[in-house]
Structure 1
Amino acid sequence: MDLDLAQKVLAEQPFSRLLGARVTAFGDGEATLELDIRQDLFQQYGFVHGGVVSYAADNTLTLAAATVVGPGLITSGFTIDYLRPATGEILRAHAQVVRAGRTRVVSRCDVSTVDADGQRTLCAVAQGNIAVIDAKN
């Protein structure tokens, strides 16, 4: 699987299209997903909703796993810790594989925001278990 295929797979997900998510890096056990921060993604206090931050971590954990074991993956579980409110221009999730097995892959993800000056701020960290599945089922 390469960057073009990863972008195509993401484009096939209606929710990813709704959020305007894009894969910006993909390979060698790592992946990066970005989306523009928009007001319609905020919660009541003016921060990016935790569900959007969680989505970014979830998809990026799985994308990183796909760089090692290929397609046919699904998240079987993940944890996320929100460190600070997500504000800025871009939400960026970067994940890397910790261990790849035959049926499970463990990945870690940092979710950061990028402001108008290019300053990054870490807002969440996640770790997930990705299951290798039979894509036909």
Structure 2
Amino acid sequence: MPEPAHDLPGLDIARKVLAAQPFSVLLGTRLTAFGEGEATVELDIREELLQQFGHVHGGVLSYAADNALAFAAGSAVGSRVATAGFSIDYLRPARGAVLRAHATVVRAGRTRVSCRCDLSTREADGPWTLCAVAQGTIAVLLD
């Protein structure tokens, strides 16, 4: 059963969870927003994250969507969640200086949370450009 609202993790705790993920540390991922059914993760785009045409690799976009979806769900039902599955549609090549994945809860049930995620990139302080969308189901882990 989802945790009561007073047991939901805050931004500081959620950032500690992200910091405990070695792959997220490797990529330099930041949790920039968390709470009330929403979460945003960002990472700086580096050469090592590109594919052969100079765009952000689809696996990096998928990773960002997966984490944002799970954190959004966790902000609504508590920290005992795991991704059950998600799909992603790549809309345009992802390029720029920063990648942002912003996820929101569509519906939080007792055992599953449905979420959607928009992935955008931007150069320095320029406008965000939508490059992919994802939707997923996050499982609430029961004891």
Q: Deviation at 1:134?
A: 4.0
Partner of 2:70: 62
Residues matched between the structures, number? 135
Partner of 1:129: 137
Partner of 1:11: 19
2:116 to 105, 108, 111: 108
Amino acid at match of 2:124: A
2:58 equivalent to 1:50: yes
SS in 1 for 2:115: strand
Query: Matched residues in 2 for 1:116 and 1:4: separation?
Result: 26
RMSD (Å) for aligned C-alpha atoms: 0.9
Which segments of 5 or more consecutive residues in structure 2 lack a partner in the other structure? 1-8
Query: Matched residues in 2 for 1:7 and 1:134: separation?
Result: 23
Runs of 4+ with >3 A deviation: none
SS in 2 for 1:75: strand
Partner of 1:99: 107
SS in 2 for 1:87: coil
Report sequence identity in percent: 68
SS in 1 for 2:71: helix
Residues 87-132 of structure 1 show CA distances to partners (whole Å, capped at 9, x for unaligned) of 0010000000000001000000000001123211000000000001
TM-score after normalising by structure 2: 0.92
Query: Matched residues in 1 for 2:125 and 2:135: separation?
Result: 29
Query: Matched residues in 2 for 1:43 and 1:99: separation?
Result: 34
TM-score after normalising by structure 1: 0.96
SS in 2 for 1:98: strand
Is the deviation greater in 104-113 or in 116-125? 116-125
Which segments of 5 or more consecutive residues in structure 1 lack a partner in the other structure? none
2:34 equivalent to 1:32: no
SS in 2 for 1:71: coil
SS in 1 for 2:138: strand
